[in-house]
Structure 1
Amino acid sequence: MHYGRVTPPAALPSRSDPPDAVRDWLAGAHASPEQVRREWARCGLALLPLGSRFDAVRIPGDLVHAAVGSLAASDALDGPVIHDVRTLGPTYWALVPHQDDWPGDTETPLLSHGTYLGVPDLTVVGPPGSFWVTTPRRRHHLCRAEDVLALIACGRRELRQERMTNAEVLRALAQELPPPDTLSDDHLRGRTCVWCDTQLTAATAYLDFGQLTEPRRWFPRACRPCTDVRADRARTALVEGRQ
């Protein structure tokens, strides 16, 4: 495993435990396993204390999605992952062995002793609410901490590249703005797309360049079709320029 990129998980034994055995193991993290089973039966979710049988790493959804691209999170981490769609925006929780030291930060913290995590029943594998992206296949089946760190590093790298690309595309689009002295008052005030005659509102203006002051004060905005055509062209040019 090399930090900073996601590699396919190492081949593991295909053995799996019966679901009730896995439930017993999960519920055993709580002082009252029967209470956990009652909560699963009643609402499909139970609060389990962290730090004894496993810890949990919180990963923002945008980091996971950037890292795995078209893959599912289950294909990037060989271990149990929970998706919470109700709090903090789209959030993933990777269950890992207890860690004494965690090189994460406030965006990707490790939750351990003194913290509870909402853990769904094994049958809850889709929204609404918290659900398993990948269920534990057997007792003690957890994500490797180094794989989680690699996914986080990869997601951050991809997001930085995406932000850089978007900034470069925006600069390229600004270069394509027509001279203000060739435009009508509606174009100059952003009531009409700067590249065509489509009337715009606050809801339909797809790209807003804000207030520009050179060579005069104006407020160019653009419709989505015009923006998409020019943005695609700019991205193609960027890709070709980097090859």
Structure 2
Amino acid sequence: MQYGRVTQPATLPSRSDPPDAIRDWLAGAHESPGQARREWARCGLALLPLGSRFDAVRIPGDLVHAAVGSGAALEGPVIHDVRTLGATYWALVPHQDDWTGGPDTPLLSHGTYLGVPDLTVVGPPGSFWVTPPRHRHHLCRTEDVLALLACGRRELGQEHVNNAETLRALAQELPPLDTLSDDHLRGRTCVWCDTRLTAETAYLDFGQLTEPRRWFARACRPCTDVRTDPARTALEARK
């Protein structure tokens, strides 16, 4: 796949580090920073592992557009991508173990990779920076991302989802480990079906589970949608 390149360097906001210093910081997320730089030079996009220098929150385009239309904004690096189901945004945030943003806006971390454009890629086609990082360690504040999600949901009239409650309910519906393949256990396929998943297409990410042993559970949107309401009802009944 070819990704868009901008022939002239993107203009970074004031008080920024030199672009090469920011590239070095981003590339440092990769075990081989030189590979990231080669990927940027070759196609304008590098696959970087999440969980070390930053995590990423996946936000559906309609949620972002609704929030921005009401005046909300993020001060930090955001990547735009276009998927078969519409626009998707990725807000880069500090690594964290707890995320309360809702299953429709998962936090992706250890075990996943994100396509990160070169700093000069600020327009389509393909992935591009809506807002590039201004300096090393420049990330969106988690509380600002949560505020934007809440604003977008209010504008769209969506009910706020208690992520912890939803994940706890759906966790009760996870299949026994001895019925799962290696791809299921590594999060490569939906835990409830055989749909292949990537960091971009996994709708729900349970993160790293440790019982009865270390494994990763992820799910596609159709399976999540079918199970969410019954799982929450069953959880309420058990209280």
Give me the TM-score of the superposition, normalised by structure 1. Answer: 0.58
Q: Is the aligned partner of 1:116 residue 2:116?
A: no
1:36 maps to what in 2? 36
Q: Is the aligned partner of 1:135 residue 2:143?
A: no
Shift of 1:99: 1.1
Which of 81, 94, 106 pairs up with 2:78?
A: 81
CA distance in 1, matches of 2:143, 2:136: 20
Question: Which amino acid counterpart does residue 117 of structure 2 have in structure 1?
Answer: P
1:53 maps to what in 2? 53
Q: Is the 8 A contact 1:81 1:135 kept in 2?
A: yes
Structure 1's consecutive aligned runs of 4 or more residues displaced over 4 angstroms after TM superposition are none
CA distance in 2, matches of 1:16, 1:53: 19
Q: Is the 8 A contact 1:86 1:130 kept in 2?
A: no
Aligned length: 146
Q: Is the aligned partner of 1:159 residue 2:159?
A: no
Q: 1:34 to 1:87 in 2, by over 3 A?
A: farther
Question: Which amino acid counterpart does residue 15 of structure 2 have in structure 1?
Answer: R
Q: Is the aligned partner of 1:149 residue 2:146?
A: yes
Which of 92, 99, 102 pairs up with 2:99?
A: 102
CA distance in 2, matches of 1:95, 1:16: 17
Two-structure CA RMSD over aligned residues (Å): 1.7
Q: 1:87 to 1:33 in 2, by over 3 A?
A: farther
2:123 maps to what in 1? 126
Note the 1:154-193 alignment, pairs <5 A: 154-160=151-157
Give me the TM-score of the superposition, normalised by structure 2. Answer: 0.59
Shift of 1:113: 0.5
% of aligned pairs identical? 88
Q: Deviations over 1:65-120 (max 9, x none)?
A: 0001076xxx7100000000135420000000011100022210000000100000
CA distance in 2, matches of 1:54, 1:120: 15
Question: Which amino acid counterpart does residue 112 of structure 2 have in structure 1?
Answer: T
Q: 1:103 to 1:89 in 2, by over 3 A?
A: same
**Over alpha carbons, which structure has the higher Rg?**
1
Question: Which amino acid counterpart does residue 120 of structure 1 have in structure 2?
Answer: P
Q: Is the 8 A contact 2:101 2:149 kept in 1?
A: no
Q: Which 5+ residue runs of structure 2 have no aligned equivalent?
A: 1-12, 159-239
CA distance in 1, matches of 2:63, 2:140: 17
Shift of 1:15: 2.6
Name the structure where strand makes up a greater proportion of residues. Answer: 2
